Structure 1
Amino acid sequence: MGAAPGGSYLGPLMTVTMLFFMWGFITCMNDILIPKLQQVFTLQNWQAMLIQTAFFGAYFIVSLLYFIFSVTKGDPILKIGYKNGIIVGLMVTALGCLLFLPAADLHSYGLFLGALFVLASGITVLQITANPYVSILGPPESSSSRMNLTQALNSFGTTIAPIIGGYLIFDQVTNDTTNADSVKMPYIGLAVTLLIIAVIIKLAPLPRLTGDGTAVVAGSGALKHRHLVLGIICIFMYVGGEVAVGSMIINYLKLPQIAGLDESEAKHFLSFYWGGAMIGRFFGAVALAQFRNKALKYVIMAVIALVTFVTVYALYDLDQALIILGLIVVNFVVLLLGRFIPNRTVGLYATAVIVLLLIGTFAQGGLAMWAVIGIGLFNSIMFPTIFDLAIKGLGAHTSQGSSLLVMAIVGGAIIPPLQGAVADVTGDVQFSFIVPMLCYLYIVFYGFAGYRTRVNNSASIR
């Protein structure tokens, strides 16, 4: 594996984290698009959820094509390099953003879905290249920590997207639900930003890494690893569950028995949901890092909690700040129970989410509302940690395994419409949360058992 210029990976790691922020921001914008386009085109819940189907469906199709190519011709990322792969991903994503202009002008829901598909195709390429790149960009023992740190920046994007996107798309229009013109400017801005980042990446001295220095030949060697196959299912379940909950939050908070909020008010609480994932990932990055002084971990996490409390108090009010702090404390207790062991923490976090979903499904008022919002804190470490557990030990097949894991993000295309359909058929948005609940049950299994790697189809190691 190559070394970074000057023997340090800090500079390249900081550069790549920009990508995680951007695709987090763009992905969470879907949660704003859903209620907006539902108004514009008078859609039922399942039809509005096709936004997520188009977006995450691209993950499956593009990743499948990538996998087929790698099986027949060899790994394309190793052919063109991680850096060029990242630049291609940024340019395709920018093109998808620009396609929102004709979609709005032609008042075509189908064209919006097409634009989202193109946009997500670019993000798929970024996922395939950037995730394994971060995992191998430094010592193996701290890979989970690095993955959580970069995903924390991803969550920062998902945290501010509802606020900025909601302001631009909802607050800057005067009750006009007949057109989608308000989505133009945000996506033009995103396209310009992505192209600027592409130039920065082009000029940045990123090291060329392959995982173990061995070229990947044609074949599907990655699928011989049991923990990867089970990890693919786990990513499918996790992304499906996370996206389904996030996509339904605004409609959930509009329910009179929950909070009775309108879209403009609900977007702030959607930000809390994704913000919880950011805070949790910062916690995870610290907890899973290799510190000589363990007490330093607790000090840093206490500072993160304090800064979060002060920020929420300054922006909102004391009651909400205290509730957020209480959820952080519960999250920290579960983290301690996990003993900072990645797979164990995933299993316990998934268990906590199931409990919160049960409360959100069968309770009412503030308790139900904050239970669902609190899920974000426990979602936090799941994607980066599951991803890291699944690609461990793949060696030269790391990129191929990554493409399969990214393909599994198609869960975000399938699970949300299923939840939407349950809500439509039963007429009960609350009951529909039973769908993501089933997803998290599988994650519990993977965290406690499915993560184990197999060597020569017999030996098992931690």
Structure 2
Amino acid sequence: MWGFITVINNTLLPHLRSVFDLNYTQTTLIESVWFIAYAVASMPSAFLIERVGYKRAIIIGLSVMALGALGMVPAARLPSFEITLIALFVIACGIALLQVAANPYVAVIGPPESSESRLTLVQAFNSMGTFFAPYFGGYLILSRTVSGTTLEGTAVSAQQRLADAQATQLPYVLVAVVLAVIALVFSRAKLPALGSATGRANAEQRQALSLWQHRNLVFGVPAIFIYLIAEIGVANLFISFVSQPHIGNMTHAAAANYLVLLWGGMMVGRFAGAVLMKRFAAERVLAAYAGAALLVMIGAATLQGPAAMWALILVGLCHSIMFPTIFALGIKGLGPLTEEGSGLLITAIAGGALVVVQGWLADRVGLQNSFWLTVACEVYVLWYALSGARPTHALPPETAP
């Protein structure tokens, strides 16, 4: 569900760009607000989890997301750019809490040697949500608006923009209802409790332990930060890019159908990655995916027409395992510091806020040339896989989660 509601933004942003007559910088700033919420909410979420436990934290996260989704109704009715930003910020705070709770829970609930494969498998189901979201957003938002059913650059009157704004009400009411139902299901579910080894170290233990001694975490935090710049930049500018006359020359509604393939590739790549990591070291699999991402992004930045479009679609397959694998490698060997390390890694998701830099580049050097920023991001992830992920000061196996 959190994959679903995150990817709705990919169809929401071109819609809001038309409704509020925004440039690329202003459009990507909306997504920056979304990811600033991760920076604000992640570490408080880690402390909340220590107080209320994983199960209650997940329920609270789902409830906060539902509240934010309902906030999109008055934002559409007015319409109000400011209320839209506030509602999206609240939704993202709920997702940040879910991320801090669910990712380490999945990583440490089973054998440590299979944590990367297990987290990648669970994230593959996250990708099922991202696969269906473009259909949902394309049908209920873009296909029901004037701006979504006309070619890029077509003039839309103020009256038409006002009518278009109402299209976001129904989708977000449906999302809020589903989130409330899921929260109810979790409130009645019996989830396994984590062992004491995964709890936060007491004061005396903490004095002898430091997160900064763990090289895999120290370089993993910027790896998550930089990877998110790449993933969010590609996803949020995909529809605008494919709609360009020299690339796909199609409407936003039609481009949303190709966005499905981007996220579908991410889902397939994660299922495949979960299997591969049972046979090969996670670092090697991550390096192979990162190398492929580097190649296809160079293609997206230099090619024309359908070739450029398909290069950008393929990066979804290449990006698929990056977040869960970097996350699992980053918390490996942290033992009782797992929750704090997880909080830092989830805080690094705020890197997605720098998508505004790509929006700024798109306004100045062109949308296609802005993807050279993504190419640079792929280089760092490749280095992390080859070198930065090697753990140091890992806790003994009997102490580690």
Counterpart among 133, 136, 161 of residue 177 in structure 1: 161
Counterpart among 443, 448, 452 of residue 390 in structure 2: 452
In the alignment, the residues of structure 2 paired with residue 174 and residue 248 of structure 1 have an alpha-carbon distance, to the nearest angstrom, of 20
Q: Residue deviations 1:219-273, cap 9 Å, x none? A: 6833332210110000001111111011111111111111111101100111101
Q: Is the 8 A contact 1:237 1:442 kept in 2?
A: yes
**Cα RMSD (Å) of the superposition?**
1.7
Match of 2:369 in 1: 431
User: Given residue 372 of structure 1, which amino acid in structure 2 is its aligned partner?
Assistant: L
In the alignment, the residues of structure 1 paired with residue 76 and residue 88 of structure 2 have an alpha-carbon distance, to the nearest angstrom, of 13
Residue 258, structure 1, aligned to residue 243, structure 2? no
Q: Residue deviations 1:316-359, cap 9 Å, x none? A: xxxxxxxxxxxxxxxxxxxxxxxx22112212211211111111
User: Given residue 431 of structure 1, which amino acid in structure 2 is its aligned partner?
Assistant: N
Residue 418, structure 1, aligned to residue 357, structure 2? yes
Scaled by the length of structure 1, the TM-score of the pair is 0.79
Unaligned runs of 5+ in 1: 1-21, 68-74, 291-339, 458-462
The count of aligned residue pairs is 378
In the alignment, the residues of structure 1 paired with residue 14 and residue 224 of structure 2 have an alpha-carbon distance, to the nearest angstrom, of 26
Counterpart among 240, 243, 265 of residue 232 in structure 2: 243
Residue 59, structure 1, aligned to residue 43, structure 2? no
Structure 1 position 200, deviation (Å): 0.7
Match of 1:203 in 2: 188
Q: 1:356 to 1:271 in 2, by over 3 A?
A: same
Secondary structure of the corresponding residue to residue 197 of structure 2 = coil
Match of 1:10 in 2: none
Structure 1 position 210, deviation (Å): 4.6
Q: Is the 8 A contact 1:236 1:409 kept in 2?
A: yes
Match of 1:327 in 2: none
After TM superposition, the structure 1 = structure 2 runs for residues 180-329 of structure 1, keeping only pairs within 5 Å, are 180-210=165-195, 212=197, 214-217=199-202, 221-289=210-278
Structure 1 position 402, deviation (Å): 0.6
After TM superposition, the structure 1 = structure 2 runs for residues 100-179 of structure 1, keeping only pairs within 5 Å, are 100-174=72-146, 176-179=160-163
Which one is further off, 180-189 or 448-457? 448-457
Residue 34, structure 1, aligned to residue 23, structure 2? no
Q: Is the 8 A contact 2:200 2:337 kept in 1?
A: no
Secondary structure of the corresponding residue to residue 162 of structure 2 = coil
Q: Is the 8 A contact 2:79 2:162 kept in 1?
A: no
Q: 1:214 to 1:407 in 2, by over 3 A?
A: closer
Q: Is the 8 A contact 2:269 2:317 kept in 1?
A: yes
Match of 1:50 in 2: 29
In the alignment, the residues of structure 1 paired with residue 66 and residue 210 of structure 2 have an alpha-carbon distance, to the nearest angstrom, of 33
In the alignment, the residues of structure 2 paired with residue 164 and residue 456 of structure 1 have an alpha-carbon distance, to the nearest angstrom, of 44
Structure 1 position 418, deviation (Å): 0.8
In the alignment, the residues of structure 2 paired with residue 267 and residue 210 of structure 1 have an alpha-carbon distance, to the nearest angstrom, of 44
In the alignment, the residues of structure 1 paired with residue 200 and residue 52 of structure 2 have an alpha-carbon distance, to the nearest angstrom, of 12
In the alignment, the residues of structure 2 paired with residue 243 and residue 266 of structure 1 have an alpha-carbon distance, to the nearest angstrom, of 17
Unaligned runs of 5+ in 2: 148-159, 396-401
Secondary structure of the corresponding residue to residue 161 of structure 2 = coil
Q: 1:43 to 1:341 in 2, by over 3 A?
A: same
Structure 1 position 172, deviation (Å): 2.6
In the alignment, the residues of structure 2 paired with residue 263 and residue 174 of structure 1 have an alpha-carbon distance, to the nearest angstrom, of 10
After TM superposition, the structure 1 = structure 2 runs for residues 13-28 of structure 1, keeping only pairs within 5 Å, are 22-28=1-7
Q: Is the 8 A contact 2:45 2:96 kept in 1?
A: no
In the alignment, the residues of structure 2 paired with residue 430 and residue 213 of structure 1 have an alpha-carbon distance, to the nearest angstrom, of 45
Counterpart among 375, 382, 389 of residue 329 in structure 2: 389
Q: Residue deviations 1:133-155, cap 9 Å, x none? A: 00112111211111111111111
Structure 1 position 214, deviation (Å): 4.6
Q: 1:84 to 1:262 in 2, by over 3 A?
A: same
Scaled by the length of structure 2, the TM-score of the pair is 0.91
In the alignment, the residues of structure 1 paired with residue 70 and residue 22 of structure 2 have an alpha-carbon distance, to the nearest angstrom, of 24
Q: Is the 8 A contact 2:334 2:341 kept in 1?
A: yes
Q: Is the 8 A contact 1:30 1:51 kept in 2?
A: no
Residue 78, structure 1, aligned to residue 62, structure 2? no
In the alignment, the residues of structure 2 paired with residue 42 and residue 365 of structure 1 have an alpha-carbon distance, to the nearest angstrom, of 27
User: Given residue 417 of structure 1, which amino acid in structure 2 is its aligned partner?
Assistant: V
Structure 1 position 174, deviation (Å): 4.9
In the alignment, the residues of structure 2 paired with residue 237 and residue 166 of structure 1 have an alpha-carbon distance, to the nearest angstrom, of 28
Secondary structure of the corresponding residue to residue 336 of structure 2 = helix
In the alignment, the residues of structure 1 paired with residue 30 and residue 41 of structure 2 have an alpha-carbon distance, to the nearest angstrom, of 17
